[in-house]
Structure 1
Amino acid sequence: MATATDQPNPQPSSDEAKDEGLTFGAVLGATIGNMLEFYDFVTYSFFATQIGHAFFPTKSEFASLLLSLATFGAGFVTRPIGAIVIGLYSDRAGRRPAMILSFAMMGIAILVLALTPSYDAIGVAAPIVVILARLTQGFSLGGEVGPTTAYLMEAASARHRGLAVSFQPASQQIAATAGALVGEILSLTMTSDALDAYGWRIAFLLGAATLPFGLWLRRTLPETLHRTETPSIQVQNAQAAKTLRGNTRLLGLGLVILASGTIITYVTQYMTTYAQHTLHVDAPLAFATTVVSNGIGIAAAFLGGWLADRLGRWPIMVWPQIAALLLTYPIFLWVVESRNSAALLGGLGLLALIGSIPYSAFYVALVEGLPKGIRGGAFATIYAVAIAIFGGTAQLVVAWLTEVTGNALAPAWYLLLATAAGLGAMIFMPETAPSKLAASGKR
């Protein structure tokens, strides 16, 4: 396998030196922004009703909730803008300054949301401030994932890139689980009046408490933008123009796969509401379903990255995705017909395991396949577009399909469509693992 030791470079650039540099602190520093993003997502979803009461009081409870959810959705609008601006900044100035900028903006926006007085205290200024905070947060989040994913790949050794990049999707599951647990603990230990008054603010402040630590971690990270990469990747990139136009096919495939993964992720997070509202199961089992699925998703993300380093990117994308396509409908049929813990925990847990494995391999394949000069901005942009279009609508589509059809299997239909689209794009993704390229002579 070709490694960085094959390069004439006066600086230490061996696989071993890179491995020493990619410490737990470096991984945490790179992914802490992604964690804060998903923690905020779950926390806002959990306390949407209380946020509506605080900033959008109306005579209608439903109208208040809709205004709260619309404010949450406003953050999706500015994601593509942030992806372009901060992503391009990372390709010019470096990954570290871009990550510091996005995390600082994100943390400040969450603090503003948590500390803004209610509508009763300052009137119409309250919802205006909250909406501006959400727009700012969306901008910062849009520019978060591209630079951090690029950083994880560039900081790791060639033989450990898959595992390193798998911390990106795994961090999403970790944060979503933490957010669900915080929400559950607060709801169990506080009265409804206390949650309305200040309990939801505690949840956001717990997330914002990571701001000083995260900024310190990111300031200590070594820069990776100008590191020399393995010859196999360099030659492969030299065969295509180092521009967006020269990588249109790869970016198009990546957009479809990211849309597929976004739908799967957001529908999975909807399972607590689905289990209670549609299947009418008890709340503890409904919450346990999401916690178990998230926990399994964490392990599956790491497993996918580990396997991608050993077997290549393409087979770990394609074969588990085929299994997910074949198992989705039978598992949902089992869940709907039985509505018991074995189906909800075991069946949906199995689906989370199989369905999460391919995306770690995909993440590393996409950042490896993109030229370094456009890697951060291009990845961030297509990720933000996929999230803005499909993440912001996934749960709404599932809820609407279930309501208009009266069929509890509606989520399975949407998941099948997303999984099939992702599989089709994965089949055409190139193999980018350095060991596979070296073995095939593409060096």
Structure 2
Amino acid sequence: MADTGSDKVKTVLRVVSGNFLEMYDFFLFGIFAREISETFFPSDDPYASLMATFLSFAAGFAMRPIGALVLGPYIDRIGRRQGLLVTLAIMACGTILIAFVPGYATIGVIAPVLVVLGRLLQGFSAGVELGGVSVYLSEMATPGNKGFYVSWQSASQQVAVVFAALLGFAIANLMAPEAISEWGWRIPFFIGCAIVPFLYMIRRSLQETKEFAARKVHPTTSQIFATLAADWYLVLGGVAMVIMTTVSFYLITIYTPTFGRRVLNLTESQVLLATMAIAVSNFIWLPISGAVSDRIGRKPILVGFTVLALLTAYPALAWLVREPSFGKMLAVELWLSLIYAWYNGAMVVALTELIPASVRTSGFSLAYSLATTLGGSSLLISTWLIQHTGDKAAPGYWMSFAALCGLIATLALYRRPAGGVQYAAPGNAIGG
């Protein structure tokens, strides 16, 4: 029996549920970076304390390639559904650690060690979560609508950003700063722990994708690695394409609260309102971009919006920092949101099409996770750039570099046949 529209919507919601938890936790780390630094990485130098927090944030991204290499072949071999359950369980362990570990003042050096361990667990699971979700959505999509379906992987993250920002806004306005620093920042993490059982229940009801279930032969782990090695140019090109997405996303969402408070001297409420507006903007533009890419192709969108980023990222930030205001910050961030969302809406589905079907989860996850080790370090890199150049608009240079990577990769990959080498028939091109 054919799936109804209602069935498709329910399936999409089940698939992206874990995506919500991942981005919810990551964004909370950005909102409460100052409080986390004071709790787990205390120092006489606020800059050193904040950098230590951002290093622990970046440590999770360093684990992503390992997660992709370990869990990616498992999902390509065992199935999409089982893989999504495993990643959710590992992610939940990391969330629980960060929520409940006592501070440095209570248990000493064990506190930051356990927090870093929680970030490593989150990074390990996230290394394949995005790939697993994107591949599942691409394989369940109706003909001619793959871009629209896959775009909901990223759109679900925007819901998490809005939810986290609303909680942050409420806490900032209802609690005293001393109470927030002492224990109030933990409340959203406790809420994340509380919704884990619900997310697990709805993911358990997922069925295996018909495309995966119809395959007669599934590759072994060694065959998957051999295929990835043969298609190294696809993985490398995918990394360069994803860098544009991860850098721009983390700059306009995760880094915005810190940038707005420390660099622009705006209030907590102002930066959180701006962040919520960015997430709403992303949520609107992402599925539109995915749907348009289904009609006109992926390449025109990818090329057009990387060029826009190259031309405008630094000038926009330079205009903002000359005379900072809430209105100017909102305008600049919404412009960068437009660029990110249109590029990402076409890029994610493009990557699922470029990677061979037999290793789709492994290849996608490896490319995405390698790129995210750089993109996820945007908080650290941006803070360092501003500190060492004295230029408050310096994060614009970082986004411009990422856009250049995306442009070069797009032009290079779309000169080659899509798909790459299948493990069962080396040298044979496979469509997405």
TM-score (norm 2): 0.86
In the alignment, is residue 138 of structure 1 matched against residue 142 of structure 2? no
In the alignment, is residue 413 of structure 1 matched against residue 397 of structure 2? yes
Structure 2 contact 172–269 (Cα < 8 Å) conserved: no
The CA deviation at 1:54 is 3.6
Structure 1 contact 36–175 (Cα < 8 Å) conserved: yes
Question: What is the 5 A alignment of 1:301-380?
Answer: 301-380=286-365
The CA deviation at 1:341 is 4.2
The CA deviation at 1:96 is 0.8
The CA deviation at 1:195 is 2.0
In structure 1, C-alpha distance between the alignment counterparts of 2:112 and 2:166, rounded to whole Å: 27
Match of 1:185 among 150, 170, 191: 170
Identity among equivalent pairs (%): 35
Aligned CA distance change for structure 1 residues 285 and 187 (closer, same or farther; 3 Å)? closer
Match of 1:80 among 65, 71, 75: 65
In the alignment, is residue 104 of structure 1 matched against residue 89 of structure 2? yes
**Counterpart residue number, 2:14:** 29
Query: Which one is further off, 124-133 or 345-354?
Result: 124-133
Query: Which one is further off, 198-207 or 95-104?
Result: 198-207
In structure 2, C-alpha distance between the alignment counterparts of 1:119 and 1:295, rounded to whole Å: 36
**Counterpart residue number, 1:3:** none
Structure 1 contact 19–156 (Cα < 8 Å) conserved: no
In structure 2, C-alpha distance between the alignment counterparts of 1:311 and 1:345, rounded to whole Å: 30
The CA deviation at 1:44 is 1.6
In structure 2, C-alpha distance between the alignment counterparts of 1:355 and 1:400, rounded to whole Å: 23
In the alignment, is residue 226 of structure 1 matched against residue 212 of structure 2? yes
In structure 1, C-alpha distance between the alignment counterparts of 2:322 and 2:35, rounded to whole Å: 34
In structure 1, C-alpha distance between the alignment counterparts of 2:169 and 2:143, rounded to whole Å: 41
In the alignment, is residue 249 of structure 1 matched against residue 233 of structure 2? yes
**Counterpart residue number, 1:176:** 161
Letter in 2 for 1:426: T
Letter in 1 for 2:410: M
In structure 2, C-alpha distance between the alignment counterparts of 1:245 and 1:122, rounded to whole Å: 45
The CA deviation at 1:344 is 2.2
In structure 2, C-alpha distance between the alignment counterparts of 1:89 and 1:164, rounded to whole Å: 24
- Cα deviation, 1:271-304, whole Å, max 9, x if unaligned, reads 3333333333454433333222222112111111
Aligned CA distance change for structure 1 residues 69 and 252 (closer, same or farther; 3 Å)? closer
The CA deviation at 1:129 is 3.1
**Counterpart residue number, 2:387:** 403
Match of 1:386 among 361, 367, 371: 371
Query: Which one is further off, 69-78 or 97-106?
Result: 69-78
The count of aligned residue pairs is 409
Structure 1 contact 322–423 (Cα < 8 Å) conserved: yes
The CA deviation at 1:338 is 4.4
In structure 2, C-alpha distance between the alignment counterparts of 1:311 and 1:137, rounded to whole Å: 36
In structure 2, C-alpha distance between the alignment counterparts of 1:280 and 1:209, rounded to whole Å: 34
The CA deviation at 1:98 is 0.7
Aligned CA distance change for structure 1 residues 61 and 320 (closer, same or farther; 3 Å)? closer
Gaps of 5+ in 1: 1-11, 230-240, 435-441
Over the aligned positions, Cα root-mean-square deviation in angstroms equals 2.8
- Cα deviation, 1:122-165, whole Å, max 9, x if unaligned, reads 45443433332222222111121111111010011121111110
Aligned CA distance change for structure 1 residues 372 and 22 (closer, same or farther; 3 Å)? farther
**Counterpart residue number, 2:280:** 295
Greater CA radius of gyration, 1 or 2? 1
Aligned CA distance change for structure 1 residues 242 and 309 (closer, same or farther; 3 Å)? farther
**Counterpart residue number, 2:150:** 165
In the alignment, is residue 154 of structure 1 matched against residue 144 of structure 2? no
Structure 2 contact 130–365 (Cα < 8 Å) conserved: yes
Gaps of 5+ in 2: 216-224, 420-430
In structure 2, C-alpha distance between the alignment counterparts of 1:342 and 1:53, rounded to whole Å: 30
